Every structure is written in structure tokens, then in C-alpha cells.
């Protein structure tokens, strides 16, 4: 997977995907209702410190914020647990993933990498997209936020939550901003600068914190647990898990960016991966971390 990402986006000593990003620090306040879903300790105590990262999608370090490949943007959070068992969350600014499996995603990436400007049409990626209507629909339905702080982000992979009574259910995460959601038209986006998202976030954080509520969307009968390309219906129940308040950048952003590793598939008490893609992501991310040291 890491090699496929580099085939698509180029070799560099940075993150293989979601390469360009901005980090913030702040706090997590758990919601009482989360305890009915899971016995995970981060929901049973008080406020905890967090580090968060907003990012563009593509694995290109100098990608302009207004480029087509910037979407879906990412939002990842690491909750610093008192016992050292940090709790990592990764969400994308699109409800659903481009493919159902890691293998399919790698095929798409290799086709993208083989479709340079001098390749005759239809290029390999054009052929792939033409043969996969769901991929075509994903690409055409992408949105581009006016601000990292003004978008909803979705956890694409399902997890299994188990509470203190031994009751289990399946969830996907959702991050909902306190700020009003705003998305750009194509003309508005193209008129923006190549650093508009990171510039806007810096200006915003100087005046007020960025706040998101974290929800668990509960799976219903017939919902696909192991296929992230299929979004669950909006009618599914949302249970609040807590609130993130992000108020400042790291003291040393460059070092923090280089060393930060998210492990969203890591098992915790009352929380475990339900979608196999999460396990594979946990395997691939440390490889990418090693390559950027």
C-alpha cells in the first residue's frame, strides 16, 4: 500500500498520503452518554489533552490547498490517555471511501501513477474509473470546505463497541463542527490561494478555538460493516462521545509533524476494529512513519 501511494504521488520523505497538513493541540471532554456504548476509560474520566491534524488528501507535500486532489480533507485526533494507551481517530471529509478494500485502492493508485500527462487517452486511471461506477461517483461528489473548521468529517471504517454490561454494537465516527458548514463552488475554490486552508486556520485560532463534537453513528440492520465505500443511512442514530476544543499550534510544528503517528485500528477496552481495512491501516502507517524519519 505504501509503495502504491508513492507510485501515485511520488517518492518523498513525508507522509505517503494526507501529506500536507496543519496540527493543533487542545482538549477532549467526554460525553456521559458514551459510557452506555463502551467501557473505554477515556470516556469515564475528565478532560484529556489531544493533538489533532487537518490535512489535504493527496500524498504531495506541496499540493495547493485549492487543487482537485485536496479533497477529501482529513481530520485526525490523538487523545493522550493517562495510562499511555493513546486513543487515535481518523476521519475524512467524505461519507464513505473510494473503494471497498485496501487491495482495490492499491489498484486505483497504481492506475493513477501510470497515467501521466504524456500517456494516451484513455489512460489507465480513466479506464479504471470507467469500469467502476462507484469510484466515478465518489470523485464527482467530492466537496471542498471553505475552512478546515467548517466541514463535517466521517470515520470511514466500522468499529465494535462493547459496554460494561458486555453489550456490543457497530459504529462509525462522525466529527461535527460548532462552526457553520461552508463548502466552495468550483469557481470560488479556484480563486483561493494555494495555502488558503492553513492560512484561514491560523487566523481563526488566533481569535477563537476550533470546536468539534464527536459522535458514534450506530449501525442498523443490513448496514455493511466491512465495506467503507457504502455510507450508512443518515437516519441511523448518532450518540455523542465528546467534544474537542483545539486552541493552539504545537511549540515545534515541524518535529511534531515528523514524529506523529496515528493508529486508528489499535484495540482498546471496549473498542476494536470491525472493518479489516483498519487492521491494514495500522500495519501500513508505521512503514510510512519510518520512511519520513
Over the chain (293 residues), the average pLDDT of each successive run of 10 is 94 92 98 98 96 97 97 98 94 97 96 95 97 97 98 98 98 98 98 98 98 98 97 97 98 94 97 96 93 85
Using alpha carbons, list the distances in angstroms from residue 126 to 7, 108, 114, 138, 154. 16, 10, 11, 14, 27
How far apart are the C-alpha atoms of 102 and 22, rounded to whole Å? 26
How far apart are the C-alpha atoms of 276 and 271, rounded to whole Å? 14
Element at 116 (helix H, strand E): none
Three cell numbers at 203?
Answer: 487566523
Cβ burial 138-171 (10 Å sphere, 16+ → b, else e): beeebebbbbbbbbbbbbbbbbbbbbeeeeebbb
At residue 207, the pLDDT reads 97
Using alpha carbons, list the distances in angstroms from residue 151 to 3, 71, 187, 204. 30, 12, 19, 14
Q: Helix, strand, or coil here: 7?
A: helix
Which residue, among 118, 103, 8, 108, has the nearest Cα to 63 in the 3D structure? 8
Which residues form the domain of 96?
A: 2-291
CB 156 within 8 A of CB 97: yes
Number of domains in the chain: 1
Give the angle subtended at the CA of 187 by the CAs of 185 and 193, to the nearest 5°: 100
CB 215 within 8 A of CB 174: yes
At residue 13, the pLDDT reads 85
How far apart are the C-alpha atoms of 5 and 258, rounded to whole Å? 18
How far apart are the C-alpha atoms of 274 and 217, rounded to whole Å? 14
The H-assigned helical ranges of the chain are 2-9, 102-113, 124-131, 133-140, 186-191, 196-205, 253-259, 276-291
CB 111 within 8 A of CB 287: no
The pTM is what?
A: 0.97
Residue 169: give its domain's CATH number. Answer: 2.40.180.10
DSSP assignment, residue 181? P
At residue 292, the pLDDT reads 85
How far apart are the C-alpha atoms of 60 and 19, rounded to whole Å? 6
Which residue, among 151, 158, 157, has the nearest Cα to 74 in the 3D structure? 151
Amino acid at each position: 500500500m505504501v509503495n502504491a501511494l508513492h507510485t501515485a504521488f511520488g517518492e518523498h520523505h513525508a507522509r505517503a498520503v494526507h501529506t500536507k497538513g496543519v496540527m493543533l493541540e487542545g482538549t477532549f471532554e467526554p460525553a456521559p452518554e458514551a459510557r452506555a456504548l463502551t467501557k473505554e476509560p477515556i470516556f469515564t474520566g475528565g478532560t484529556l489533552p489531544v493533538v489533532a491534524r487537518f490535512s489535504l488528501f493527496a500524498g504531495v507535500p506541496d499540493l495547493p490547498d485549492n487543487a482537485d486532489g485536496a479533497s477529501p480533507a482529513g481530520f485526525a485526533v490523538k487523545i493522550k490517555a493517562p495510562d499511555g494507551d493513546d486513543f487515535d481517530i481518523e476521519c475524512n471529509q467524505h461519507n464513505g471511501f473510494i473503494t471497498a478494500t485496501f487491495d482495490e485502492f492499491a489498484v486505483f493508485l497504481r492506475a493513477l501513477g501510470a497515467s501521466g500527462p504524456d500517456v494516451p487517452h484513455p489512460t489507465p486511471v480513466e479506464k479504471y474509473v470507467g469500469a467502476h461506477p462507484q469510484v466515478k461517483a465518489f470523485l464527482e461528489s467530492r466537496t471542498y470546505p471553505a475552512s478546515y473548521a467548517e466541514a463535517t468529517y466521517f470515520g470511514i471504517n466500522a468499529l465494535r463497541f462493547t459496554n460494561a454490561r458486555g453489550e456490543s454494537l457497530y459504529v462509525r465516527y462522525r466529527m461535527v463542527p460548532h462552526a457553520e458548514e461552508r463548502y466552495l463552488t468550483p469557481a470560488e475554490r479556484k480563486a483561493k490561494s494555494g495555502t488558503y486552508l492553513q492560512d484561514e486556520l491560523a487566523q481563526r485560532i488566533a481569535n477563537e478555538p476550533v470546536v468539534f463534537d464527536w459522535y458514534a453513528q450506530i449501525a442498523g440492520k443490513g448496514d455493511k460493516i466491512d465495506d467503507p465505500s457504502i455510507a450508512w443511512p443518515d437516519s441511523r442514530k448518532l450518540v455523542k462521545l465528546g467534544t474537542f476544543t483545539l486552541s493552539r499550534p504545537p511549540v515545534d510544528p515541524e518535529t511534531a509533524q515528523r514524529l506523529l503517528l496515528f493508529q486508528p485500528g489499535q484495540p482498546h477496552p471496549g473498542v476494536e476494529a470491525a472493518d479489516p481495512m483498519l487492521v491494514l491501516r495500522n500495519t501500513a502507517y508505521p512503514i510510512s512513519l519510518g520512511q519520513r524519519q
